[in-house]
């Protein structure tokens, strides 16, 4: 320890590297803050996540600077006499960052929750839109029913008039013609028949839309919970570390005067 504390080069390097880490981090935080649109929850989440992910860098800078000051003094008991202004600035910055990370915890969690709720609402609206499109397609198919019926009757009449049918095939074709004529004369029966034909496909599409919407909702809520827990807990741990460093250092400086 004496060899380290007697080397002004090591002391200078520790304080210099520490100060650079702290300053570059603060500049980075300010730059991130300028990108925040408080009307856009996603930019807030990006900001809070970015700050927390970089939170260990100024912490390392504060520790290195503190070690540099400590080595400069050569003795823990006399460290209050070494670089008092630098020590004061470092501990104040640590305290401010501690409060910042403490505030980020509820800010990030609430923003993530609100963003997830908004996304779930949008997913529900998109699902409703897709269902409406399916119903529109069903109505269009039903509207085309009479034209399709006429086309089928024309094909049957052409086949019967061609004389190419005989026996069972002829009987079946005549029965089909009679059935189609009855449907044509009864719009309600025609609509019921088309409904029976379309219903399975419509049910399948609606089920698929609901299933996709449910999966998307679950994924959104899961990602939101993970983001809230990860960033929230990391921010809380960083806040505890910064506050302990900052307030303990300030208390020692005040008690040493």
0.85 surpassed by pTM: no
Q: Give pLDDT tens digits along the chain (257 positions).
A: 454 444 678 888 888 999 999 999 999 999 999 988 888 899 999 999 999 999 999 999 999 888 888 777 654 444 445 567 888 888 899 999 999 999 999 999 999 999 999 999 998 889 888 888 777 776 666 655 566 655 565 566 565 556 555 566 656 655 566 666 655 555 666 566 666 666 777 778 888 888 988 999 999 999 999 999 999 999 999 999 999 988 888 887 777 65
The angle subtended at Cα 98 by Cα 16 and Cα 35, nearest 5°, is 85
Would 18 be classed as within a structural domain? yes
Residue 176 in domain: no
Specify the DSSP class assigned to residue 80: G
pLDDT at 88: 85
d(CA 253, CA 91): 10
Query: How high is the pLDDT of residue 174?
Result: 56
What whole-number distance in Å separates Cα of residue 63 and Cα of residue 15? 9
* Any domain includes 252: yes
In this structure, is residue 249 part of a structural domain?
yes
DSSP code at position 188: H
> Nearest-CA neighbor of 53 among 228, 231, 224?
231
Q: What is the dihedral of CA 38, 41, 46, 50, to 10 degrees?
A: 60
Q: Which residues of 124-135 are buried (b: 16+ CB within 10 A; e: fewer)?
A: eeebeebbeebe
Give the phi and the psi of residue 74 in degrees, each rounded to 5.
80, -5
Q: What total of structural domains would you count in the chain?
A: 1
Asked if residue 158 belongs to a domain, the reply is no
Q: Which two tokens stand for residue 227?
A: 């983001």
- What distance in Å separates the CA atoms of residue 193 and residue 186, rounded to the nearest whole number? 11
- Is 71:5 a contact under the CB 8 Å cutoff? yes
| In a domain? residue 26 | yes
Full residue range of the structural domain in which residue 17 is found:
2-115+234-256
Q: In a 3-state reduction of DSSP, which class is residue 152?
A: helix
Q: What's the pLDDT at 71? A: 75
Give me the residue label for tokens 């390392």: 60
209 lies in some domain = no
Are 159 and 165 within 8 A, CB to CB?
Answer: yes
Q: Looking at the domain assignment, is residue 153 inside a domain?
A: no
Output Rg (C-alpha) for the chain, integer angstroms: 37
How many H helices and E strands in the chain?
A: 8, 0
């Amino acid at each position: 320890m004496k060899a380290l504390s007697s080397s002004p080069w090591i002391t200078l390097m520790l304080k210099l590297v520490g100060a650079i880490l702290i300053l570059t981090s603060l500049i980075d935080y300010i730059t991130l803050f300028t990108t925040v649109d408080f009307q856009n929850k996603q930019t807030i989440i990006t900001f809070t996540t970015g700050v927390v992910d970089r939170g260990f860098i100024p912490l390392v800078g504060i520790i290195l600077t503190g070690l540099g000051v400590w080595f400069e003094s050569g003795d823990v008991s006399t460290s209050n006499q070494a670089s008092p202004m630098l020590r004061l600035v470092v501990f104040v910055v640590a305290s401010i960052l501690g409060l910042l990370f403490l505030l980020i915890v509820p800010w990030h969690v609430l923003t993530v929750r609100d963003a997830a709720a908004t996304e779930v609402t949008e997913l529900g609206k998109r699902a409703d839109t897709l269902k409406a499109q399916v119903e529109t397609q069903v109505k269009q198919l039903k509207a085309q029913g009479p034209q399709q019926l006429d086309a089928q009757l024309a094909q049957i009449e052409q086949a019967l008039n061609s004389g190419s049918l005989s026996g069972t095939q002829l009987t079946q074709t005549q029965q089909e013609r009679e059935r189609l004529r009855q449907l044509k004369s009864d719009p309600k029966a025609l609509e019921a028949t088309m409904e029976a034909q379309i219903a399975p496909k419509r049910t399948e599409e609606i089920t698929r839309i609901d299933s996709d919407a449910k999966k998307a909702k679950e994924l959104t809520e899961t990602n939101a919970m993970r983001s809230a827990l990860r960033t929230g807990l990391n921010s809380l741990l960083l806040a505890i570390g910064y506050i302990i460093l900052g307030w303990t250092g300030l208390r020692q400086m005040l008690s040493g005067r």
